[in-house]
């Protein structure tokens, strides 16, 4: 069964300093939470069905944990599973690629300790292909629902799209309508979020244009030629404040579609030194 420590501070593992949850080693950490972990593991094995994903295959889905923690579809606050313990249950549905079964689904579920509003420890997490299994973990109070919040799955923390900004949402939806079906899937956008800062700081191209509402939009474009990201362009769309020449981040995305990149090459072609560093929205 998979577990993960999220926050590590050099020599010590810091989970929640305000509650003195600071540990010298992972062994010490897991000894502290062994009661909760063991309970959740027993419950999981009692609920899973034999036709679900085998535990021996869990490593193949490990990469989905970071996406789950950063961009969940649902968060449930569970105070009834264990007396005196607050669990936050994160749930996310993932795209299933190249499946012969048209009805195939993939979920990832995690039991999380939050420090403030930030995941700092994962008691247990697992993939499942069973909607019925996920339903058993929708318990307690639902405190977040992506669909109800109407936040696109491609939104990334720190951009206006993630905050529900209407301008960002409209521009993003327009981009998605012309995006090629063969391009990077929307559910995978967050995996390329690591390219955002370098695109802003070291763009290949910067283009300024005005939309029909008079907004001044500035797009940062960078092509990545490294082996891991070969053939990918990353585009960051910002809103310029003409008075201060600063830029609020609207949204960003990766693409392998040259035609889509071309749509952002319009207006005035700027040099990097003409643009003040982008500011968070």
Tens of pLDDT, residue by residue over 84-131, are 999 999 999 987 765 545 557 899 999 999 998 899 999 999 999 999
Looking at the whole model, is its pTM more than 0.75?
no
Higher pLDDT, 177 or 149: 177
**Could you give the CA distance from residue 52 to residue 37 in angstroms, rounded to a whole number?**
21
> Could you write out the DSSP letters of every residue in 217-263?
EEEEEEEE-STTTTTEEEEEEEEEETTTTEEEEEEEEEE--HHHHHH
Taking CB atoms within 8 Å and a gap of at least 24, the contacts of 253-257 are 253/154, 253/172, 253/175, 253/189, 253/192, 254/184, 254/188, 254/189, 254/192, 254/195, 255/179, 255/183, 255/184, 256/182, 256/183, 256/184, 256/231, 256/232, 257/179, 257/180, 257/182, 257/183
Cα torsion angle, 182, 183, 189, 194, sign: positive
Lowest-confidence range among 33-47, 145-159, 178-192?
145-159
Burial profile 88-105: b = 16 or more Cβ within 10 angstroms, e = fewer: bbbbbbbeeeeeeeeeee
Average pLDDT, the chain: 88
124 touches 1 (CB < 8 A): yes
**Alpha carbon 9 to chain centroid distance?**
23
Convert the pLDDT of each residue in 168-219 to its tens digit: 999 999 999 999 999 999 988 988 999 999 999 999 999 999 988 889 999 9
Lowest-confidence range among 122-126, 147-151, 192-196, 275-279?
275-279
pLDDT category of residue 39 using cuts at 50, 70 and 90: very high
**Could you give the CA distance from residue 180 to residue 160 in angstroms, rounded to a whole number?**
24
Q: Counting beta carbons within 10 angstroms of the beta carbon of residue 223, is it exposed (0 to 12), middle (13 to 18) or buried (19 or more)?
A: middle
Residue 157 has what pLDDT?
A: 80
254 touches 189 (CB < 8 A): yes
Which residue has 């579609």 as its token pair? Answer: 257
Antiparallel, parallel or unpaired: β 205-210 and 87-94: unpaired
Residue 278 has what pLDDT?
A: 42
Antiparallel, parallel or unpaired: β 246-255 and 268-270: unpaired
**Could you give the CA distance from residue 269 to residue 220 in angstroms, rounded to a whole number?**
10
* Percent of the chain surpassing pLDDT 70: 90
């Amino acid at each position: 069964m998979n577990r993960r420590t999220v926050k590590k501070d050099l020599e010590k593992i810091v989970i929640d300093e305000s509650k003195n949850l600071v540990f010298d080693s992972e062994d010490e950490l897991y000894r502290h939470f062994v009661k909760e972990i063991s309970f959740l593991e027993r419950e999981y094995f009692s609920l899973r069905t034999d036709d679900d994903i085998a535990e021996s295959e869990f490593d193949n889905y490990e990469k989905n944990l970071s996406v789950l923690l950063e961009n969940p579809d649902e968060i449930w606050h569970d105070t009834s599973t264990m007396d005196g313990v607050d669990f936050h249950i994160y749930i996310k549905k993932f795209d299933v690629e190249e499946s012969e079964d048209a009805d195939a689904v993939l979920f990832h579920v995690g039991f999380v300790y939050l420090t403030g509003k930030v995941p700092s420890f994962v008691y247990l997490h697992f993939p499942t292909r069973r909607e019925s299994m996920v339903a058993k973990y929708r318990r307690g109070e639902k405190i977040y629902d992506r669909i109800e919040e109407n936040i696109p799955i491609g939104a990334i923390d720190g951009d206006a799209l993630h905050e529900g900004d209407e301008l960002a949402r409209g521009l993003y939806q327009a981009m998605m309508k012309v995006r090629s079906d063969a391009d990077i899937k929307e559910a995978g956008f967050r995996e390329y979020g690591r390219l955002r800062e370098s695109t802003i700081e070291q763009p290949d191209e910067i283009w300024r244009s005005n939309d029909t509402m008079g907004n001044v939009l500035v797009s940062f474009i960078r092509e990545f030629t490294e082996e891991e990201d070969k053939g990918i362009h990353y585009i960051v769309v910002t809103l310029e404040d003409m008075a201060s020449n600063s830029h609020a981040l609207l949204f960003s995305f990766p693409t392998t579609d040259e035609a889509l990149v071309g749509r952002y090459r319009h207006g005035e072609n700027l040099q990097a030194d003409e643009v003040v560093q982008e500011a968070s929205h």
